[in-house]
Chains A and B, each alone.
Chain A
Amino acid sequence: MEVSQLPLPPSMVEMLHLAGFSVVADLDGISALELADELKMSPSDASQLLASVRSHGLRTPRAPPATSALELLHDERHSEKIVTAVKELDDLLGGGIPLRQLTELVGVPGVGKTQLSIQLALTVQIPRLFHGAEGEAVYIDTEGSFMAERAHAMAEALLRHLHATAHRAADHAQAAAAASLRASHLLERIHCFRVHDAAELLATVRSLNFFLAERKTVKLVVVDSVAFHFRHGVSDYTRRHQMLGQLTQALSEYATRHSLSVVMVNQVTTKVNDATNTSSIQPALGESWAHACNIQLVLHWMNGTRVARLCKGREPGWAEYQVTEEGVRSVQNPTRGADT
Chain B
Amino acid sequence: MTPPRPVPASILLCSPAHTRKLSLGCPSLDRFLGGGIDHGGITEVAGEAGSGKTQLALQLMLHVQLPHGRGGLGGGAVYLHSDHASYVPALNRLRTLAEAFARAHAALGATVDRLMDQVSVVQIDDVDTLASVLQHDVPAFLAEKQVRLVVLDSIGALFRHAGDDAGRSRASQQAERAQQLFAVAARLKSLSDRFNVAVVVTNQVTDKPLSASGLASAPAYERGACRLADGASVRVPALGVGWAHCVNTRLILTRHEVSVPGAPSAASPVVVGGLGAKRKHSSLEWSDDVRVGGWEESSQAYCSPSTSTTRTAHIAWSPRLPGRSMRFEVRDDGLHGIAS
Contact string, A101-137, partner B, CB cutoff 8 A, digits 1/0?
Answer: 0000000111110110000010000000000000000
Contact string, B128-172, partner A, CB cutoff 8 A, digits 1/0?
Answer: 000000000000000000000000000000000000000001110
A175 sits at the interface (CB 8 A): no
- By a CB distance below 8 angstroms, the chain A residues around B42 are 144
- By a CB distance below 8 angstroms, the chain A residues around B247 are 109
- By a CB distance below 8 angstroms, the chain A residues around B15 are 148
B217 and A110 contact, CB distance less than 8 A:
no
B3 and A184 contact, CB distance less than 8 A:
no
B217 CB, nearest partner CB in chain A, Å:
5
A267 and B245 contact, CB distance less than 8 A:
yes
A187 and B9 contact, CB distance less than 8 A:
yes
B8 and A322 contact, CB distance less than 8 A:
no
A195 and B220 contact, CB distance less than 8 A:
no
Count of A-B contacts with CB under 8 A?
186
Q: A149-B19, A269-B241, A301-B218 are in contact. Are A190 and B9 (CB under 8 A)?
A: yes
Pick out which of these stretches binds chain A: B59-67, B105-113, B284-292, B327-335.
B284-292
Docked complex: B1-52 residues within 8 A CB-CB of A: 1, 3-10, 12-13, 15, 18-19, 40-42
- By a CB distance below 8 angstroms, the chain A residues around B8 are 187-192
- By a CB distance below 8 angstroms, the chain A residues around B90 are none
CA distance A187 to B13 in the complex (A): 8
A233 sits at the interface (CB 8 A): yes
A197 sits at the interface (CB 8 A): yes
Using a Cβ–Cβ cut-off of 8 Å, how many residues does chain B contribute to the interface with A? Answer: 62
Q: Choose one: A149, A151, A204, A301; the contact of B220 (CB below 8 Å).
A: A301
Using a Cβ–Cβ cut-off of 8 Å, how many residues does chain A contribute to the interface with B? Answer: 70
B170 and A272 contact, CB distance less than 8 A:
yes
Contact string, B242-284, partner A, CB cutoff 8 A, digits 1/0?
Answer: 1011111010000000000000000000000000000000001
A10 CB, nearest partner CB in chain B, Å:
11
A207 sits at the interface (CB 8 A): yes
Q: Choose one: B5, B213, B248, B287; the contact of A144 (CB below 8 Å).
A: B248
A324 CB, nearest partner CB in chain B, Å:
4
B288 and A305 contact, CB distance less than 8 A:
yes
B171 and A274 contact, CB distance less than 8 A:
yes
CA distance A271 to B218 in the complex (A): 18
CA distance A147 to B19 in the complex (A): 8
- By a CB distance below 8 angstroms, the chain B residues around A199 are 1
B316 and A324 contact, CB distance less than 8 A:
no
Q: A147-B319, A192-B12 are in contact. Are A229 and B186 (CB under 8 A)?
A: yes
A192 and B6 contact, CB distance less than 8 A:
yes
Q: Which residue of A lies closest to B194 (CB)?
A: A196
Contact string, B279-307, partner A, CB cutoff 8 A, digits 1/0?
Answer: 00000111110010000000000000000
Docked complex: B175-228 residues within 8 A CB-CB of A: 178-183, 185-186, 189-190, 192-194, 213, 216-221
B120 sits at the interface (CB 8 A): no
Q: Choose one: A114, A115, A200, A281; the contact of B241 (CB below 8 Å).
A: A281
A206 sits at the interface (CB 8 A): yes
**B5, B19, B42, B250 — most chain A CB neighbours (10 Å):** B5
Q: Which residue of B lies closest to A215 (CB)?
A: B6
**B9, B193, B217 — most chain A CB neighbours (10 Å):** B9
B319 and A322 contact, CB distance less than 8 A:
no
A235 sits at the interface (CB 8 A): yes
B182 and A270 contact, CB distance less than 8 A:
no
CA distance A151 to B13 in the complex (A): 9
B4 and A144 contact, CB distance less than 8 A:
no
B182 and A232 contact, CB distance less than 8 A:
yes
A56 sits at the interface (CB 8 A): no
B183 and A232 contact, CB distance less than 8 A:
yes
- By a CB distance below 8 angstroms, the chain B residues around A235 are 179
**B12, B180, B183, B317 — most chain A CB neighbours (10 Å):** B12
Q: A110-B250, A268-B241, A304-B217 are in contact. Are A323 and B186 (CB under 8 A)?
A: no
Docked complex: A207-261 residues within 8 A CB-CB of B: 207, 211, 225, 227-229, 231-233, 235
A274 and B220 contact, CB distance less than 8 A:
no
Q: Which residue of B lies closest to A184 (CB)?
A: B10
B143 CB, nearest partner CB in chain A, Å:
16
- By a CB distance below 8 angstroms, the chain B residues around A110 are 219-221, 244, 250, 287, 316-317, 323
CA distance A148 to B14 in the complex (A): 9
Q: Which residue of B lies closest to A199 (CB)?
A: B1
Docked complex: A259-311 residues within 8 A CB-CB of B: 267-270, 272-274, 277, 281, 284, 300-306
- By a CB distance below 8 angstroms, the chain A residues around B169 are 274
- By a CB distance below 8 angstroms, the chain B residues around A147 are 319-320
6 contacts between A and B (CB under 8 A): A109-B247, A148-B15, A190-B9, A196-B190, A267-B245, A322-B288
A contact set with B: CB distance below 8 Å: 108-112, 114-115, 121, 138-139, 143-153, 184, 187-197, 199-200, 203-204, 206-207, 211, 225, 227-229, 231-233, 235, 267-270, 272-274, 277, 281, 284, 300-306, 322-326
| Top-5 shortest CB links A-B | A110-B317, A232-B182, A110-B220, A191-B6, A148-B12
Given A151-B13, A193-B4, A233-B186, 9 additional A-B pairs, CB 8 A: A110-B244, A121-B9, A189-B8, A190-B9, A231-B242, A232-B185, A268-B245, A269-B242, A304-B291
